[in-house]
Structure 1
Amino acid sequence: MSEKLYTVAVLKAQKGKFDELVAVLEELARETRQEAGALQYGCFKWVVSDQ
């Protein structure tokens, strides 16, 4: 999903629609944080269960 948003962001920038670009980048940042959070949680659970 992040790749699709990245493509949309590039297209918005090329068309000069910077107000819309900001919204897309905010959505991308939100998704990235969620993915990073899930990854951290998964690693934490793996380390804890490994003990």
Structure 2
Amino acid sequence: MLFSGGKLDNQALLTNQAQKMADVPLMITFDGEWGLSMRLRGTPVFPKTWY
């Protein structure tokens, strides 16, 4: 599963439901190279690191 947006509560709910339905543990990933707040609403915002 790949999450790329939404709300934290919804992603937790979907992840837990999918894991319960799966025969083997699922690999869950998130497109968030700048941190959780880049894609998830309601998460802490931290300053970006620029190189």
Q: Which has the higher contact order (CA 8 A, sep 6+)?
A: 2
**Higher-helix-fraction structure:** 1
Report the TM-score, using the length of structure 1 for normalisation.
0.43
TM-score norm. by structure 2 comes to 0.43
**Max radius of gyration: which structure?**
1
Larger fraction in strand: 2
